[in-house]
Amino acid sequence: MTAVLLDTSAYSALRRGHPEVVSQLGRSARVCLNPIVLGELHAGFRKGVRRGKNEQELEEFLESPRVDVLSVDEDTAERYAVIWHALREAGTPVPTNDLWISATAMQHGLAVLTTDGHFLKVKQIVVRWVRSE
């Protein structure tokens, strides 16, 4: 695995030292996130008691030369629509933020690393699902 798109659940699992997430990221030459994941992380930090520490750890993570934050743009929006439509037709909706994460993965040809089973419903992407501990 040379590149992966990390979702919020996988980042959280990484911070908890989840062995499979740590292993998969160790084998990835490039680790990507998008602004939706960052927004979810910052929202979670605000409701927690370790906000400053969590923000510092995220900042250090983002400074790694292997980590990229991918933008959400018009191409992402087109892929969002494709995924949304397919899921609606199949009767298997997923949360909106997961659609944007999936659309980013589809756009850039990345596997989504996650502990969230919602992504398994998205047939247009490769999902690296790991069981949460």
Query: What mean pLDDT, rounded, does the chain reach?
Result: 95
Stretch among 1-10, 66-75, 94-103 having the lowest mean pLDDT = 1-10
The dihedral through the CA atoms of 31, 35, 36, 41 has a sign that is: positive
Structure tokens at 91: 């009767």
In this prediction, residue 1 carries a pLDDT of 55
Domain 3-129 in this protein, CATH class: alpha beta
d(CA 126, CA 117) in angstroms, rounded, equals: 13
In this prediction, residue 2 carries a pLDDT of 84
Structure tokens at 104: 């980013």
Q: pTM of the prediction?
A: 0.94
pLDDT (average), residues 9-22: 95
Q: What share of the chain in percent tops pLDDT 70?
A: 98
